Structure 1
């Protein structure tokens, strides 16, 4: 490197803040207050960490769509203590391929158009026995009755905490 280029490089580097300088050194802020007993004040550890409250909002909207479309056994399961990949599952059962498609398409519409969130992936739409909609912090599982019973995610994720629909501001059909 020439002497002129080396001087220019040193000048540019000195203009940047030093990571270890006392001016910029500050203790890292812990996520949430460890003394705070409210887990909802803690940030989400999920792929798209908008916070657990935002995840609950997405899950509530998805569960409401399932209820509005006559989905059965709709539940929201908090799994954030079991995995860092996502916070909540929404599970619902449909009685036909057509119903499962309607629920999944309307969930996409509500979460994407109304709430501005974007689906990261979808699996099982063609077969329609188990449709999975991945919204990062919330994963939505739509099953036909036989498949839900067979895979029994509620038992597989038994350490998860069911969130009563009423706690999300929803009124279960029944």
Structure 2
């Protein structure tokens, strides 16, 4: 795991996921890898109900700052919800689906850090 600078949007997404007890929150730096986004926030939940709750909380927290997702996928089934905020894309998975799709391995050339619940831990 490497350290890298995380923008406020990415921190807010990771913190909102943490607020709803998301597990294994990982921030991936895609700035020199993907032309589409700078960061992924990937996290897991124990049920589809929790996946929805995490996604809802991220949307509520960012909406309070006037930020809305550009795109949202997977909400109906809630096994994998994707929230695209431009420079950061949140991936909220039911644990089994995260293990199946293994985004961390697909993007294994990206730097990654485990999110800790306090902003000063994310450098």
> Taking structure 2 as the reference length, what is the TM-score of the superposition?
0.87
Match of 1:150 in 2: 100
State the number of aligned residues: 118
Match of 2:85 in 1: 135
Offset of 1:80 from its aligned partner? 1.1
- Say whether 1:68 aligns with 2:19: yes
- 3-state SS in 1 of match to 2:14: helix
Offset of 1:170 from its aligned partner? 5.7
Q: More relative contact order in 1 or in 2 (CA 8 Å, sep 6+)?
A: 2
Deviations 1:17-68 (A, max 9, x none): xxxxxxxxxxxxxxxxxxxxxx86xxxxxxxxxxxx6xx2111111111111
Match of 1:31 in 2: none
Gaps of at least 5 residues in structure 2 are none
The within-5 A match list for 1:159-170 is 159-166=109-116, 169=119
Gaps of at least 5 residues in structure 1 are 1-38, 41-52
Q: Which of the two has greater strand per residue?
A: 2
- 3-state SS in 1 of match to 2:105: helix
Instruction: Give the superposed CA RMSD.
Output: 2.0
What stretches of structure 1 move > 4 A for 4+ residues in a row?
Answer: none
Structure number with larger C-alpha Rg: 1
